Amino acid sequence: KKGKREFERMHKLFLRNVKSMNKGFTMPPKNKKSRQDPSQDTPKHAKQLNGKMLYTYLALCKRELDISKDAGSGLSKASWAKIREEYNAKFNITREPKYFSNVWFYQKVKYNAWTLLLRRTENGFNAETLTFHLPPEEWDALIKIKKNVSIFKKGGLLHEDLMEVIFGNRVATEHV
């Protein structure tokens, strides 16, 4: 229950921040054919981001945090606009602001689950394969605490180094 309440609290805070962030984005192209289908900007699609596109997104976020004067508070509207513009240009797509906020939120939740798993399992992590070797009953107990850890049953956290830099000081620590 405590983890769920914390998640809901963080989600409300996130949505409030996203509302204020969206005001600073540039308008999408007027030519509707050149726009990406808005249905591609859903949280489901943000969860599917991986490989080169995820690395590019995280690298752009890290760069903007590095040059930001107040990195502790997150990214500015101008930084989000730069990330959006460069990402869309690199992959020749047009993603809406909602997509970038969905990706940020999902990656932050994933990083939070990863750090919880690392703290809770101690010797169950294999640094060479980046996987956790835990008995099924331990997985079940951890998933009851935080369901997002289930994504790490089969693999590790992609781009852990970038995630650490981006979210390390921004993730609320849960005491479970």
pLDDT confidence band for 20 (50 / 70 / 90): low
The torsion angle over the Cα atoms of residues 38, 82, 52 and 164, rounded to 10 degrees, is: -110
Residues 28-60: tens digit of each pLDDT: 454 444 444 554 556 566 666 778 999 999 999
Residues 109-145: tens digit of each pLDDT: 999 999 888 888 776 888 888 888 888 998 898 889 8
pLDDT confidence band for 5 (50 / 70 / 90): confident
pTM for the full predicted model: 0.69
- The mean per-residue pLDDT over the stretch 1-7 comes to 70
pLDDT confidence band for 169 (50 / 70 / 90): confident
Residue 24 scores a pLDDT above 50: no
- The mean per-residue pLDDT over the stretch 7-31 comes to 59
Helices (H) and strands (E) counted in the chain, each on its own, are 7, 2
pLDDT on residue 46: 65
**How far is Cα of residue 49 from the mean position of the Cα atoms in its chain?**
10
Residues 63-116: tens digit of each pLDDT: 999 887 655 667 888 999 999 999 999 999 888 888 898 899 989 999 999 988
pLDDT on residue 162: 92
Would you tell me how many other CB atoms lie within 10 Å of the CB of residue 26?
9
- The mean per-residue pLDDT over the stretch 146-156 comes to 86
pLDDT on residue 124: 80
Report whether 58 contacts 107 (CB < 8 A).
yes
pLDDT on residue 37: 52
The torsion region of residue 27 among left (phi > 0), alpha (psi -120 to 50) and beta comes to beta
